[in-house]
Amino acid sequence: MKQHEESLAAIRQILNSDANTESKLTQIVSMVNSNYPKCIWVGFYFMNHETQMLHLGPYIGTTTEHTIIPFGKGICGQVAVSGETYVADNVQEESNYIACSLGVQAEIVVPIYDKEVLVAQLDIDSNTLSAFTDVDRMFLEEVCREIGNTIGNEMHLPSFVAQERSNSV
């Protein structure tokens, strides 16, 4: 798909720029959000393997109270444990779903690896049922591979997060 190829090229440019890691991720969140009009929230969560917690990073969308999520809780926590992409076509049918917004209908969470270490994940919410196709999943997995291969070594916690956030699920 031409749009995905162009977006991936732009993301590679961002990743190889002189901007700091947070700025790069903020730009990527914005780009992904603009590519998916059905999205209502796009953001990164960072893994803290010591505490078994996910920490919210750059995002775009409604403010969330879920700034810290335990491994295993919710779809993001589930991906923290499995290390595999998860697509929820209808979040209401998910027994492990943590409601972030009443408008969320579907969600995709894609892991980001630095070599073989799971360091973060990309979380995207949509207000449309079955919003994410296999093509979307493959594109987002490629985006996350690029992120991991280029700046994954800069995304390890606790060094990435300057201070702990007090809100947790």
21 three-state secondary structure: helix
Question: Which residue ranges form the domains of the chain, and what is each CATH number?
Answer: 2-154 (3.30.450.40)
pLDDT tens, position by position, 129-159: 999 999 999 999 999 999 999 988 888 876 5
Q: Which of 89, 150, 140 is nearest to 111 (CA)?
A: 140
On whether the pTM is more than 0.75, the answer is yes
CB 55 within 8 A of CB 157: yes
Determine the distance from the C-alpha atom of residue 122 to the mean position of all C-alpha atoms in its chain, rounded to a whole number.
1
Average pLDDT of span 55-74: 93
Q: Which of 46, 41, 52, 6 is nearest to 22 (CA)?
A: 46
pLDDT tens, position by position, 98-110: 877 778 999 999 9
Around Cβ 65, how many Cβ atoms within 10 Å? Answer: 11
Question: Cβ neighbours of residue 39 under 8 Å, at least 6 residues apart?
Answer: 32, 33, 61, 124, 125, 126, 131
